[in-house]
Amino acid sequence: MNFITNSLKLSRNFPSIRNLSASTSQVRIYEVGPRDGLQNESKLVPTDVKVELIHKLAEAGLKDIESASFVSPKWVKQMADGKDVMNTIKRVPGVNYPVLVPNLKGYSIARQCNAEEVAIFPAGSEGFSQKNLNCSVEEGLRRFKEVADQAVKDGVRVRGYVSCVVGCPYDGPVSPKAIAKITEDLLSMGCYEVSLGDTIGVGTAGSVQRLLREVLTVAKPEQLALHFHDTYGQGLSNLLAGLEFGITTVDSSISGLGGCPYARGASGNLATEDLVYFLYGLGVNTDLDLVKLVEAGRYISNFLGKPTESKVNRALSDRFKNHKDVVQMASCAV
Ligand SMILES: CC(C)(COP(=O)([O-])OP(=O)([O-])OC[C@H]1O[C@@H](n2cnc3c(N)ncnc32)[C@H](O)[C@@H]1OP(=O)([O-])[O-])[C@@H](O)C(=O)NCCC(=O)NCCSC(=O)C[C@@](C)(O)CC(=O)[O-]
* Residue minimizing CA distance to atom 13 of ligand 1: 72
The total number of structural domains in the chain stands at: 1
Q: Which residues are known to be catalytic?
A: 260
What are the mean pLDDT values of the chain's consecutive 10-residue runs (334 residues total)? Answer: 33 48 76 97 97 98 98 98 98 98 98 98 98 98 98 98 97 98 98 98 98 98 98 96 96 96 90 95 88 96 96 84 80 60
Residue 195, in any domain of the structure:
yes
Spacing, Cα 72 to ligand 1 middle (Å): 4
Spacing, Cα 315 to ligand 1 middle (Å): 38
For position 264, what pLDDT does the model report?
Answer: 83
Residue 11, in any domain of the structure:
no
Instruction: Give the position, in ligand 1's atom list, of the atom nearest the Cα of 103.
Output: 23
* Residue minimizing CA distance to atom 46 of ligand 1: 260
Residue 323, in any domain of the structure:
yes
> Does the predicted TM-score (pTM) go above 0.80?
yes
Spacing, Cα 282 to ligand 1 middle (Å): 40
Residue 141, in any domain of the structure:
yes
Residue 20, in any domain of the structure:
no
Spacing, Cα 286 to ligand 1 middle (Å): 34
Residue 9, in any domain of the structure:
no
Q: Cβ < 6 Å from ligand 1: which residues? A: 36, 39, 69-76, 102-103, 105-106, 109, 121, 132-134, 161, 163, 197, 199, 227, 260, 262
Residue 14, in any domain of the structure:
no
Residue 43, in any domain of the structure:
yes
For position 23, what pLDDT does the model report?
Answer: 54
CATH of residue 272's domain is: 3.20.20.70
SS3 track for the chain = CHHHHHHHHHCCCCCCHHHHHHHCCECEEEECHHHHHHHCCCCCCCHHHHHHHHHHHHHCCCCEECCEECCCCCCCHHHCCHHHHHHHCCCCCCCECCEECCCHHHHHHHHHCCCCEEEECCECCHHHHHHHHCCCHHHHHHHHHHHHHHHHHHCCEEEEEEECCCEECCCEECCHHHHHHHHHHHHHHCCCEEEEEECCCCCCHHHHHHHHHHHCCCCCHHHEEEEEECCCCCHHHHHHHHHHCCCCEEEEEHHHCCCCCCCCCCCCECEHHHHHHHHHHHCCECCCCHHHHHHHHHHHHHHHCCCCCCHHHHHCCCCCCCHHHHHHHHCCCC
Name the residue range of residue 123's domain. 27-332
* Residue minimizing CA distance to atom 52 of ligand 1: 163
ipTM: 0.98
